[in-house]
Structure 1
Amino acid sequence: MKNTFKTVVMLALLQLANTNVKAQAIPDSTMQKIDEFRVFYETLGKVYPPDSTVSINETVIAGVKSYWLNKELLNKKNLIVYLHGGVYTYGNFNTYHAMLSHLAKSFHAPILYIEYSLSPEHPYPTANNEIFNVYQELQRKFKGSEITLMGDSAGGGLAIALVGEVQEAKVPMPASLVLISPWIDLKCINDSYESKKALDPILSKDFLYNHALMYSSNSIKEADPSELKFKKFPPVFLLVGTDEVLNDDSKNFYAFIKPIQKNSKLKEYDGQKHVWLFSHIDSVKSRESLNDIKEFILASNK
């Protein structure tokens, strides 16, 4: 609860006044707020300690700084690629180290965290291109391995966008996707922005839309994962809290993708806020989520 209150205060201070600025012309005052929030966002990754038994190895893949967790398990022929959230603007490995270490321990699998470039300094499609290049390198280096894409919030949108690029380039699809509280519709027009507004202390429509404009350089339709069309799609598991404004992002994407991929799964977690595992890895609902994800990955990668 204390962590949530701190987030609410910082988000209130961060409100970006001008939603029509070009990404390459962000005012200094706005960049100062962004830099301050980046520092604060990093502290959120310290609300619980990392699992000290999980190995960490920094690396560079396709020119992009990345981090392996449980690298010694790569011989198992399955790996997870993690794409972090932060509205395309915040987050680094220090922010996600603790949560990822517990995921790696729970799944007993190697996880590659990609430290993609952030907006507004590096707007769309910079991060998308970096992630695609890393994915191609992994396909070359670990032929025959089952790759699961996992992402939270904006990272979920990036995972969907990567599948779109993979489809277009005709390279092998990932084995499965796991999306936690994904932000998919950058237009921010879903009903849950209003119906869940009073329940969500973390995100708001204005906050998300302002960052969508910065990330997309005001060309939201081009950058929007919800605008993509798919002929095929990997098995996907969407996890979302009942108490978050992004609730309909998961529901709407599930309704869209289920006819294309019958092994799609959607689960709502009662009373949970945005990316609840990030705040409370040992809660009952977080442990339930970890077990659900493990079962889904095992079933999808058979």
Structure 2
Amino acid sequence: MGTAGDDIAITPVDRAIERLRAIYRGWSRDTSMAQMRSDWDAAFSGGSAPVTIEPVSAGGIDGEWLVPSDAPRHKAILYIHGGGFRIGSVASHRELAARIADASGCRLLSVNYRLAPEHRFPAALDDALIAYHYLRDQGLRPADIAFAGDSAGGNLVLAVMLAARDRGLPLPAAGALMSPWTDLTASGASYQSRAAVDPIHQRAMILALARNYLGKDGDPHDPLASPLYADLAGLPPLLVQAGDRETVRDDSTELAVRAKAAGCDVELQVWDGMIHVFQMFPEIPQAREAIASLATFLRSHLHIGHERAPQ
């Protein structure tokens, strides 16, 4: 009876945490960057969402289209994956991106931007900007493009918008952010208040990833590296989702405060009991709910028919 009770107590979030820990347990100081990236891709590259996958060179940036069967051809989501600017790819995020594309009923372009430490800031930002230019070169109006991203990808969603705004370029219709990493100084109170309940992302790790991205002379307060410190005025509507258990939570909550103060239309959703980018784990019921909410937001701002029910 005790064993059965213990089994019942294991939650979907617990299973997701164990998936993450199993990856990290396999790594040591001797594990190569290539092996880490390969392991991450292998751990998350599955997927069953009903989309067609079409490899593409997006202005010279390797990527892929994820296309639901009934998606309009004149609208698109640009998806920018997370991974601390160090790991992650279209493969590791294919399942998450496919579920977003399917639920949104919209074509989605996912891209492999350059990773650190081989390519430090602003290489990733430059590549994401190229991908945005590529979509516009395909004849899509900015009003028919939305951005979405998780963690470091959420950082890049904001950075691309800021860079485009500062260059006088038209902005996309909206941006959807999942656990965005907006502050490379890791100064939020949640780095302490959530340290005991976050299974992976401790402040020392976050700061190490920031140094890996910026280099020893990089400035973590640069607004294109840490969008939390940017002038956010003029950005399009934003949806920000975060988990209450993640140390990076305040990167989302403080972003929402500052964006609202700058006059932005921003919706913040903090999900009780959820971990960093919980949307990556389809076994978590709240992940499906969050993606459905995100898809509703994207469809609304891309003006995609609301008769489609999110999956």
Shorter-chain TM range is 0.7 to 0.9
* Counterpart Cα distance in 1 of 2:302 and 2:265: 12
Does 2:272 align with 1:244? no
Counterpart code for 2:178: I
Task: Point out the more displaced range, 251-260 or 3-12.
Answer: 3-12
Which residue, 226, 230, 233 being the options, matches 1:228?
230
> Which residue does the alignment assign to 1:67?
64
Residues 197 and 297 (structure 1), Cα distance of their counterparts in 2 relative to 1, 3 Å cut: same
Cα distance in structure 2, aligned partners of 1:212 and 1:252: 19
Q: What letter matches 1:231 in structure 2? A: A
CA contact (8 A) 2:235 2:264 kept: no
Give the match for residue 128 of structure 2.
131
Q: Deviations over 1:5-52 (max 9, x none)?
A: 352354467587xxxxxxxxxxxx5xx443332222113214x6332x
Q: Which amino acid aligns with 2:296?
A: E
Q: Distance in 2 between matches of 1:35 and 1:94?
A: 14
Map 1:162-177 → 2, pairs under 5 A:
162-177=160-175
| 2:79 partner SS | strand
Unaligned residue ranges in structure 2 (runs of 5+) = 1-13, 304-311
Q: More helix per residue: 1 or 2?
A: 1
* Cα distance in 2 between the residues matched to 1:158 and 1:238: 14
* Percentage identity across paired residues of the two chains: 24
Partner of 1:188: 186
What is the CA–CA distance in structure 2 between the aligned matches of 1:140 and 1:49, rounded to whole Å?
30
Q: Counterpart of 1:211?
A: 209
Matches within 5 A, 1:79-94: 79-94=76-91
> Normalized against structure 2, the TM-score is what?
0.85
* Residue equivalent to 1:41: 40
CA contact (8 A) 1:14 1:34 kept: no
The structural deviation recorded for 1:103 is 1.8
In the alignment, is the contact (CA less than 8 A) between 2:233 and 2:264 conserved in 1? no
Q: How does 1:1-302 map to 2 (within 5 A)?
A: 1-8=14-21, 10-11=23-24, 32-46=31-45, 49-51=47-49, 53-70=50-67, 75-144=72-141, 146-218=144-216, 219=218, 220-222=220-222, 223-279=225-281, 281-302=282-303
Deviations, residues 207-257 of structure 1 (Å, cap 9, x unaligned): 111011010113123332222223311100000011100110000000000
Contact 1:50 1:99 in 2 (8 A): no
Is contact 1:41-1:90 (8 Å) kept?
A: yes
Q: Which residue of 1 aligns with 2:307?
A: none
The CA RMSD measured in Å over matched residues stands at 2.1
Cα distance, 1:261–1:57 mapped onto 2, change above 3 Å: farther
C-alpha distance in structure 1 between counterparts of 2:239 and 2:263, whole Å: 11
Return the alpha-carbon distance in structure 2 between the equivalents of residues 175 and 57 of structure 1: 24
Query: 2: distance between equivalents of 1:299 and 1:260?
Result: 22
Separation in structure 1 between the aligned mates of residue 48 and residue 214 of structure 2, nearest angstrom? 33
Q: 1:78·1:146 contact (CA, 8 Å) conserved in 2?
A: yes
Helix, strand or coil at the partner of 1:66: strand
| Residues 189, 116 of structure 1: alpha-carbon distance in 2 compared, 3 angstrom cutoff | same
Note the C-alpha offset of 1:264: 0.8
Deviation of 1:290 after TM superposition, in Å, equals: 1.9
- Counterpart residue identity of residue 288, structure 1: E
Are the equivalent residues in 1 in contact too, given 2:104–2:299 (CA < 8 A)?
A: no
Contact 1:15–1:207, Cα closer than 8 Å, also in 2: no
Could you tell me which runs of 5 or more consecutive residues in structure 1 were left unpaired when the two chains were aligned.
17-28
Distance 1:262 1:245 in 2: 25
Q: Do 2:51 and 2:68's aligned partners in 1 also have CA atoms closer than 8 Å?
A: no
Q: Any runs of at least 4 consecutive aligned residues in structure 1 with deviations exceeding 6 A, and if so which?
A: none
Give the whole-Å Cα distance in 1 for the aligned partners of 2:42 and 2:15.
13
| In 1: Cα distance, 2:69 partner to 2:295 partner | 19
TM-score (norm 1): 0.87
SS at match of 1:229: coil
